[in-house]
Amino acid sequence: MSQSPLPFSAHYLIDEETWVNQLLDYANPGASKRQQIKQLANQLVNNVRSKIDDMDGVDAFMKEYDLSSKEGILLMCLAEALLRIPDKGTADKLIKDKISEADWKSHLGKSESLFVNASTWGLMLTGKIIDIDDSKSGMKLALDKFINKTGEPVIRKGIHRAMQVMGKQFVMGRNIKEAIKRSGKKGFKDYRYSYDMLGEAALTQEDADRYFDAYLSSIASIADANTKRHINDASSISIKLSALHPRYEVANVSRVVNELAPKVLQITNYAKQLNVAITIDAEEADRLELSLKIFAEVYAQLEDYQGFGLVVQAYQKRALKVLEWLADLYDQHKRLIPLRLVKGAYWDTEVKRAQEQGLSHYPVFTRKVNTDVSYLACTQFLLTNRKR
């Protein structure tokens, strides 16, 4: 595999304004299609809103405390941080810091759900207990401190339990068997899933070997559960390349491609035998070209397998050029490449890294509206080339 840059490398740090102005021409669907899009969007929104009464308590809670509210953001930060805090003392301090600064009262009575209002009352009372009024003195202050101290374990356990309930809204299961079992229940079984293993990149070869075995095991479990015959209608799996190699870095491109491509091919051939589709997950921007080189290496050896695809992140400035490159790859082999177009999940990290490295520009768009333009441009390209 060549170590030379891919043809779109120049777009890695292209000037944002210049590139967005060019993307606008791609993103414009025309007046007629815009009207169709608007009508369909209104139809979908109205359909969702008509089913609000059917939401369970947790769904209603997530709707009331969504990420457009300060309290919703606080709860999400709390849920994410508590998973990483090992000691009780630090957890108590975090809970106190987050819960006491929110305006829970403003949410009281806004939802028709008894569960939501009861939860809001609980958050209000929790805030009162942990927020000590230092202006008090004597027995009143001592009593407040006593209630605060004795209430901490109860509050901590309650918050942890609440976070577990919230977590079930975003994670199907703690392992593949649990996730597959839940996907077969009422309300879930009509969906087609792409299973993923949440975790960090491999730091050692032992980590990489463990993930490799886990992927093979997961593919077998998914195959057993798939009742739909066609690969495009059945559940699939997403794999993270950084989980399969402890030195998945641009500096080691030759080594990584030579060592990792055969592993990915082995996993993919196993999935092919069991009629399970595989998607290569997107990661940080500096790893994009490395992942595409591995993808191309494996893709070229799969012959008639139609289930090997990848994720493209629209917030990267190279997104449209990546799709053009993939279209050329398709033209060479005349074999389907399943694509999943997403906005992107590492924006904060990308911006921070670019600042740390003193780069002239960012590899991602810095404004949401520009990411939206990129997404629309990519969508237009995919729709235009769907019969290619």
Domain that holds residue 361: 9-28+176-384
CATH number reported for the structural domain that contains residue 358 in this entry: 3.20.20.220
Q: Note whether 186 and 276 are same-domain residues.
A: yes
* CA atoms in the 13 A half-sphere facing the CB of 207: 15
Query: Are the beta carbons of 215 and 256 closer than 8 angstroms?
Result: no
Q: Note whether 102 and 184 are same-domain residues.
A: no
* Average pLDDT, consecutive stretches of 10 residues, N- to C-terminus, the chain (388 residues): 75 96 91 90 85 60 65 69 72 70 61 54 46 43 40 56 65 83 75 83 94 96 84 90 94 93 98 95 95 96 93 98 96 94 94 96 97 96 83
Q: Max CA-CA distance within the chain?
A: 82
Tokens in use for 114?
A: 């008894």
Q: Count Cβ atoms within 10 A of the Cβ of residue 20 and give its class: 0-12 exposed, 13-18 middle, 19 or more buried.
A: buried
**Nearest partner of 363 among 378, 346, 377, judged by Cα:** 346
| Residue 137, pLDDT score | 44
Amino acid letter, residue 98: K
Q: Note whether 194 and 331 are same-domain residues.
A: yes
CA–CA separation, 72 and 68 (whole Å): 7
Per the DSSP assignment, residues forming a β-bridge with 309 are: 279
What element of type H or E holds 292?
helix 288-299
How many domains, in total, are found in the chain? Answer: 2
Q: Note whether 57 and 76 are same-domain residues.
A: yes
Q: Note whether 273 and 336 are same-domain residues.
A: yes
Residue 33 covered by a domain: no
Q: Note whether 60 and 105 are same-domain residues.
A: yes
Tokens in use for 30?
A: 């025309």
Q: Note whether 239 and 137 are same-domain residues.
A: no
The SS3 assignment for 194 reads strand
| Residue 344, pLDDT score | 95
Residue ending a domain, choose from 167, 185, 213: 167
Percentages helix, strand, coil for the chain (3-state, rounded to 5) are 60, 5, 35
Q: Note whether 24 and 123 are same-domain residues.
A: no
Residue ending a domain, choose from 143, 167, 191: 167
Q: Note whether 231 and 251 are same-domain residues.
A: yes
Q: What is the pTM of this model?
A: 0.78
Q: Note whether 142 and 78 are same-domain residues.
A: yes
- Residue listed under structure tokens 């990308």: 350
| Residue 377, pLDDT score | 97
**Nearest partner of 100 among 155, 166, 142, judged by Cα:** 155
Residue ending a domain, choose from 116, 135, 167: 167
Residue 229 covered by a domain: yes
| Residue 179, pLDDT score | 86
Give the distance from CA 260 to its chain's centroid: 24
- Residue listed under structure tokens 């967005």: 20
Q: Note whether 247 and 325 are same-domain residues.
A: yes
